[in-house]
Structure 1
Amino acid sequence: MLKKLYCLIIICQFLIPSCIKAQDISLYTQINGRYDFTFIGNTMGPDENEFQYPTFLYTESSATLNLASNDRIERAYLYWAGSGVGDTNVKLNGIDMSPDILSTVVGTSSNLTYFSAFKDITSFVQLTGNGLYTLSDFDLNDLVTTYYDNATQFASWAILVVYENPNLTLNQLNIYQGLEALSPNRPLGIIDNMTIQLDNLYLISNTGAKIGFIAWEGDRLIQFEEKLSFSANGTTNVLSNSLNPSFNAFNGTNTETGATNLYNMDLDVYSIENYIVPGTTSASVSLQSGQDYVMLNTIVTKLNSQLPDATIVLENPISICNSKEVTVDYTVSNLNSTEVLQANTPISFYIENQVIATTYTQNIIPIGSYENGTITLTIPNSIPSNFTLIANVDDTGNGTGIRPELIETNNSFQIEIELTVSPTFNSLNPLTSCNLGLTKGLFNFSSYFEMVKTNPTHLISFHETYNDAVHNINPILNSSNYNAVTTPKEIFVRIDNGCFSVTSFQLLTENCPPVVYNAVSPNGDGSNDTFFIDGLRDIFMNFELLIYNRWGKLLWTGNNNKADWNGYVEEGIGSSLAPSGTYYYILYLNDTNYSEPLTGYLYINR
């Protein structure tokens, strides 16, 4: 507020600031239940401000909190304000406090800045409880001479305390805050004014309705065109009480304690029982001044609002494999409320603005309580497998409700849903390995774990039968060294994402070229006692092997049904014991892939 000026009017016109509005006051929080509020605080000013007086400010001051024994502290907010850009390092009962929010306004004529700081100190006050609170290290003395020419040197602080008491009515507390400044235009006599809208109200009874203010820079000796008004339902009333005349609202008082010496600050509470009617949802506060400089920081309303507040949360969506149904759990709560939520409150479920189902709460939900439920929803075929499911409580299916609530804008919850459908997969090519005999083969298909996936989160397992894959039993554990007893062999692959798909691939064998070991030492020591050809027997079933000496004489013939040659000449062909030396073979594989015989030599060492 503009201060008392004891100098010439023409001098004052240059000294008194006109401040711009900043940090619009708006709803900060809403508290519902058996709550009320009070203010404590104190000034750092030693006296009423005048031109170049006082010349100093205190750096600490105290106030006492004295709640009833059954009052429980719910919230506590500390505010401190003064000249300058802001003292952000103060102490409360010796504990350092730095602001959560710092707001400023700047005078347009003097370019002087004023600030207000805010800090949530709920836990601090809950722990401290009743008693003396001292704000210290709040030192703005180096700014006094900069501001005292227009008598706006000030420093003050306050604590807003919200408390619960079981004997209180069910109320709704709205706390609005910011920092807005009111300063008259020059010359004197031109009235400055501002109006602050109070929304999010809902009044069921006007009994005990009240409004409180935290304001800075008030001066009880400045009374020119100063007015504080409250408007609701088309009617405007000027607020006043025994400490705050209708013509001097901001006069350094605390309605809660009866103090009249809170220089440059106001902690005032007014009854508005006669100015508001049940059903009111909004109101406004208007301030005007022809001289006082006003900084409005915080507005608190207490209204008797016995209403529920329905909210809903969705969780745990479950869909059946390849089904258009999804089951979801929901919780309807009535937490931040002042009345029970009646049974049969509708709940509607939407996808893309399409209502797909409506259900209802089953029981009366008490204040601060909740009800759980589960619903199975059938999803229209036109909806893709990924979609957003929206649930609105107190919604009959057309966006309208049947229950008046404290807050009408918090009834919705949404969750992302992905229907579980069989995963897609990549096709797998057959694997071919060498025939180890009678179509047996050794295979490594471990790389197929990743190759079959179309999504890295898919879970893969291999199985020997389709039934095992479907039931996810008996997985193949040695995919890098799998022994197929016979081929072709079909391996089944399960691809799992909560649902599953099954694909398969073939294991095949081919007759690889045999390997001839051409050293023979038939001495009975168990090593190279016969002429051995690896990859021949039980693979090339119709092979024919001919052994010749170096002069071309046939010594021995063999096939798949005959043992390997052990160096003995067959009866009737010659000597029964082939001597040491070089011999020759011709191997007819009689396989379509090997049309030419394999030839070579072998050496017998006796």
Structure 2
Amino acid sequence: MNIRLKLLFLLLCFQATWSQQSITLYNQFNGRYDFTFVGNTLNENENSFQLSPTILTSSSANLNLGTGDNIEAAYLYWAGCGTGDFNIQLNGTPINATRTFSNILVQGTDYNFFSAFADVTSLVQSQGNGTYTVSDLDVSSFINYHFENRTNFAGWAMVIIYKNNALPLNQLNVYDGLQVVSIAQNFLDVSLNALNVIDNADAKIGFVAWEGDSGLEVNETLRINGNIISNPPLNPATNAFNSTNSITNSNQLYNMDLDVYNIQNNINIGDTSALIQLTSGQDYVMINAIVTKLNSQLPDATIEIEEIVPVACNSREITINYEAFNVNATANLNPNTPITFYANGIAIGTTFTQNTIPIGGSETGSITLTIPPSIPLSFTLTVVIDDTGNGTGVVTEIIENNNNFSLEVNLLTAPVYNQPENQTSCNLGFTSGIFDFSSYENEIKTNPLHVVTFHETQQDAQNNTNSIVNTNHYEATTTPKTIWVRIENENGCYSITSFLLLTKNCPPIIYNAVSPNNDGLNDLFFIKGLRNIFLNFHLEVYNRWGRLLWTGNNNTPDWNGKAENSIDGERVPSGTYYYILHLNDPDYPDALTGYLQVKWE
């Protein structure tokens, strides 16, 4: 029995199971891009035809990009039998896997397979065209075991994305994972999403696949959207994965495939996905990466809010400064693309782009909107470009789900404060008074971060100028006096309030001893807090027999111990006298009376 028949017999006799990692979109490029593959096998012969297991630990391949081709990205994949070697070298530079994939074929016993990924863009950009050598990729400890099943292999491949201004505008998608087709699972469906087919001219698809055998072609097909694709004579319709390299036209890429197919007649304008279908009645094939290139001339509208400026404190108007972009695009974005703004999901305004936004360009704009009263002071503001106000757009884009930008907004409001009480002090004359309102600062504010200042005019409070410094000993020359208060919060919003300084006529203090000897001490009958305060007071002084000796008011001097209307200003004798003080003030309806002592010596 030859090796291939024996292998088929073994596959039929054992139940096979496998593990897989679904192939999904890894990255997308929109612009004047194309791709190519570079890679090589480490097998010295196809494993189905090896008489004894052998494997290399290094191999080389050449990158030959054309003039004007600029490397945008370079992704290195390597794979082999066994549980994995994830630390290798590329042109002498150590490379560590940043993502890994695995698969297990259970066929009586476990057969492990692995692949690994590293982004080597900077290295390849710096070295450019030339020879690339992968080394230190060692699976030698597994090949004897895998040789029994003829699944011993190793290899590497680089997916190169390059840009050239002479290329048409394309959309390139790089998908990867690790999925299998074999006799145990003789069909494999892979759905490629995130496509946007505008023009299918020169559309192509490329595969990085491992372990395919040129000698095994039992029911082996590759379909896209139900149509078998081939590239004869290199890739016949009945043997898609047959150790070939479409870039170099080689059929000696033992047990790996780097194949590219033209698919322009197998994909339709308007498609957003494609179905890749593989079948195999015997060959064991692992798909690791798929790259699609589609002609796609479309804009890609995105938007960001640059700044939100409240029109005023306590206002529900805001000015929104925004920037609309057309960065990840392959065509210009036309004017009049609608832009709608939402507050907590409620549309509050729509505007439009003004100019043609070129590929990679942007446009700034501004709009002033009023936030409805039903929206709280803190809300989520969302701006959506290509939205007419009801969630629908008018522009076909490369990516339709990246039109939103949201941020949290807090409307500016004036600070809340405690209303200060009016303050009353004793009248020091003509309604003047001394006041201490230094404690009001902490009593007024409701937030320790608020700043409270006091001012003599409302204009000073509004302008935050000429603040009162001596709040603990403030002299008001006349009352009532309005003190204006400015309370400012951390957002710069402020409130203005005020309180009154008032005076009252406090009870006078009567010094009831008179020694009119001109020594400067008690020479006059002095009553503190009387003059210029009780403007209508009337004071009378009597002797002990009730004779009125003197009367005074706010317009007469204090009594000097002499009787009125006496000849030559007759001095009253030393002794005790009686006074009656009529304040003539509503708060003091009763006269103040008492005794005073006069002493001349």
Q: Do Structure 1 and Structure 2 share a fold, with TM-score over 0.5?
A: yes
SS in 2 for 1:290: coil
Deviation at 1:9, TM superposition (A): 5.5
Unaligned 5+ runs, structure 2: 510-520, 538-553, 558-569, 575-580, 593-601
Corresponding residue of 1:42 = 40
- Flag the 1:487–1:98 CA change in 2: closer, same or farther, 3 A: farther
Distance in 1 separating the partners of 2:385 and 2:130: 45
Q: Deviation of residue 283 (structure 1)?
A: 1.1
| Paired positions, count | 577
Report the CA distance between 1:490 and its aligned residue. 4.2
Structure 1: distance between partners of 2:23 and 2:245: 21
Partner of residue 117, structure 2:
118
Query: Structure 2 matches for 1:326-345, cutoff 5 A?
Result: 326-345=318-337
Q: What's 2:363 paired with?
A: 371
Coordinate RMSD, CA, aligned: 4.8
Seen in structure 2, the aligned counterparts of structure 1 residues 10 and 502 have a Cα distance that, compared at 3 Å, is same
How much does 1:137 deviate? 2.1
What does residue 306 of structure 2 align with?
315
Counterpart selection for 1:493 from 474, 477, 485 = 485
Matched, 1:448 2:441: yes
CA positional deviation for 1:286: 0.7
- Per-residue CA deviations over 1:261-282 (Å, capped at 9, x if unaligned) read 2222211110012212322222
Answer yes or no: is 1:170 the counterpart of 2:169: yes
Give the structure 2 partner of residue 303 of structure 1.
294
1:350 aligned partner: 342
Distance 1:86 1:364 in 2: 52
How far residue 411 of structure 1 moved from its aligned partner, in angstroms, is 1.8
Report the 3-state secondary structure (helix = DSSP H, G, I; strand = E; otherwise coil) of the residue aligned with 1:153.
Answer: coil
Counterparts of residues 171-250 of structure 1 (less than 5 Å): 171-185=170-184, 192-231=186-225, 235-250=226-241
Q: Which residue of 2 aligns with 1:287?
A: 278
Deviation at 1:209, TM superposition (A): 0.5
Cα contact 2:11–2:183 (8 A) shared by 1: no
Instruction: State the alpha-carbon separation in 2 of the partners of residues 246 and 355 from structure 1.
Output: 55
**1:481-511 deviations in whole A, cap 9, x for unaligned?**
7666667654333233344321234567899
Letter of the 2:172 counterpart: L
Measured at CA, do residues 259 and 9 of structure 1 come closer, stay the same or move farther in structure 2, by a change above 3 Å? closer
Aligned sequence identity (%): 48
**Residue aligned with 1:150, SS:** coil
Separation in 2 of the partners of 1:87 and 1:341?
Answer: 47
Compare 387-396 and 209-218 and name the one that shifted more. 387-396
Q: In the TM superposition, what is the alpha-carbon distance from 1:418 to its structure 2 partner?
A: 2.8
Return the index of the structure with the highest Cα Rg: 2
Matches within 5 A, 1:519-598: none
C-alpha deviation, 1:19, in angstroms: 1.4
What aligned pairs does 1:338-487 form with structure 2 within 5 A after superposition? 338-429=330-421, 440-441=433-434, 443=436, 445=438, 448=441, 452-453=445-446, 455=447, 458-477=450-469
| In 2: Cα distance, 1:481 partner to 1:256 partner | 93
2:20 corresponds to 1:28: no
User: 1:91 and 1:15 mapped to 2: Cα distance?
Assistant: 38
- Evaluate the alpha carbon distance shift between residue 457 and residue 248 of structure 1 in structure 2; reply closer, same or farther with a 3 A threshold: farther
Bigger shift: 377-386 or 311-320? 377-386
Give 3-state SS (helix, strand or coil) of 1:398's partner: coil
Q: Following the alignment from structure 1 to structure 2, what is the Cα–Cα distance between the partners of residues 406 and 102?
A: 30
> In structure 2, how many angstroms separate the alpha carbons of the residues matched to 1:14 and 1:216?
24
CA contact (8 A) 2:30 2:172 kept: yes
1:102, 1:384 → 2: CA distance? Answer: 48
Distance 1:371 1:210 in 2: 34
Residues in 2 aligned to 1:457 and 1:150: alpha-carbon distance in whole angstroms: 76
Q: Is the Cα–Cα contact under 8 Å of residues 428 and 533 in structure 2 kept in the other structure?
A: no
For the 8 Å contact 1:12–1:150, the answer to whether it is kept is: no
Residues 141-199 of structure 1 show CA distances to partners (whole Å, capped at 9, x for unaligned) of: 223334332232322211111111111111111111122222322xxxxx521111112
- Against the structure 1 CA distance between its residues 116 and 425, is the aligned structure 2 distance closer, same or farther, given a 3 Å change threshold? farther
Q: Distance in 1 between matches of 2:493 and 2:342?
A: 25
The structure-2 alpha-carbon separation of the partners of 1:324 and 1:540, relative to structure 1 and needing over 3 Å to count, comes to closer
Classify 1:475/1:118 alpha carbon distance in 2 versus 1 (closer, same or farther; 3 Å): farther
Amino acid at match of 1:107: L
Shift of 1:212: 0.6
Letter in 2 for 1:227: T
Is the 8 Å Cα contact of residues 428 and 448 (structure 1) preserved in structure 2?
A: no
What does the per-residue CA deviation read over 1:208-232, in whole Å, with 9 as the maximum and x for residues that have no partner?
100011112222222222111111x
User: Which structure 1 segments of 5+ residues have no match?
Assistant: 186-190, 516-527, 544-559, 564-570, 576-587, 598-606
Matches of 2:179 and 2:101, distance apart in 1: 9
Distance 2:151 2:368 in 1: 66
Q: Please tell me whether the aligned partners of residues 383 and 405 of structure 2 are also in contact (alpha carbons under 8 angstroms).
A: yes
SS across alignment from 2:265: helix
Residue 4 of structure 1 contacts residue 49 of structure 1 at CA under 8 Å; is this kept in 2? no
Query: What is the rounded CA distance, in whole Å, between the counterparts of 1:460 and 1:14 in structure 2?
Result: 90
Judge conservation of contact 2:20–2:102 (CA < 8 Å) in 1: no
Contact map agreement 2:508 2:530 (CA 8 A) in 1: no
Pick closer, same or farther for the CA change 1:223–1:502 going to 2, 3 Å: same
